[in-house]
Amino acid sequence: MTDDRRAHWESCYAEAASTAPEALPFLSAHAHELPASGRALDLACGRGGNALFLARHGLQTAAWDYAESAIAGLARAATGLPLQAECRDVIAQPPAPESFDVIVVAHFLHRPLFPALAAALRPGGLLFYETWCGPYAGRGPQNPAFRLAPGELAAAFPALSLLQMQEDTDRAAGLWRR
């Protein structure tokens, strides 16, 4: 991670600290799929709306991001919840194999992590993944390296069973089970 990119995200999270983070609508819509207990990970969690959602559903939740301002705000918001927020470079330190029952990834794309994410699920585990796709149309990253091609997410996790897929002009979301 370059210092410029880190500074950019630190600034973004510091500016947004006054608003409460929310879970992705795709995750909320599929909350009935979540296990009653287990370990969850919000990878590249940002301000942690998904992590808070998972912890409020009774999951022992880890939330990882490299932006210290995001992790500090999330740690304050998580008081009393089964949530541990950690400043961590998820590319350099991906999750260990078979370590989580649920993994959520939102607004983050690093294709070389796809196999590690699939392997990090325990048998029966769920992966929720949502990010930007298609050509830039005014929202999300402009750099095409950080946007999926149409249809790319559906084929990203061949070792997992695809349960649900949504794709529109600039977003793609999927749910898989190991």
Question: How many C-beta atoms lie closer than 10 Å to residue 118's C-beta?
Answer: 19
Range of the structural domain that residue 133 is part of: 40-177
Q: What is the pLDDT of residue 11?
A: 58
Q: Could you tell me the CATH number of the domain that includes residue 81?
A: 3.40.50.150
Q: What is the pLDDT of residue 114?
A: 98
* 7 pLDDT above the threshold of 80: no
Is 18 domain-assigned? no
Is 100 domain-assigned? yes
Instruction: Report residue 130's pLDDT band, with 50, 70 and 90 as the boundaries.
Output: very high
Mean residue pLDDT across the chain: 92
Phi and psi at residue 123, in whole multiples of 5°?
Answer: -55, 130
Is 65 domain-assigned? yes
Coil, strand or helix at 102: strand
* 17 pLDDT above the threshold of 60: no
Is 173 domain-assigned? yes
Please state the domain count of the chain. Answer: 1
Is 3 domain-assigned? no
Q: What is the pLDDT of residue 23?
A: 95
Is 142 domain-assigned? yes
pLDDT tens track for 50-59: 999 999 999 9
pLDDT tens track for 45-104: 999 999 999 999 999 999 999 999 999 999 999 999 999 999 999 999 999 999 999 999
Question: How far apart are alpha carbons 35 and 156 in whole angstroms?
Answer: 23
Tokens of residue 111, six digits: 């294709």
Is 5 domain-assigned? no
Q: Which of 60, 26, 25, 65 is nearest to 43 (CA)?
A: 65
**Residue range 143-159: mean pLDDT, rounded:** 95
Is 28 domain-assigned? no
CB-CB contact of 122 with 100 (8 Å): yes
**Residue range 172-178: mean pLDDT, rounded:** 98
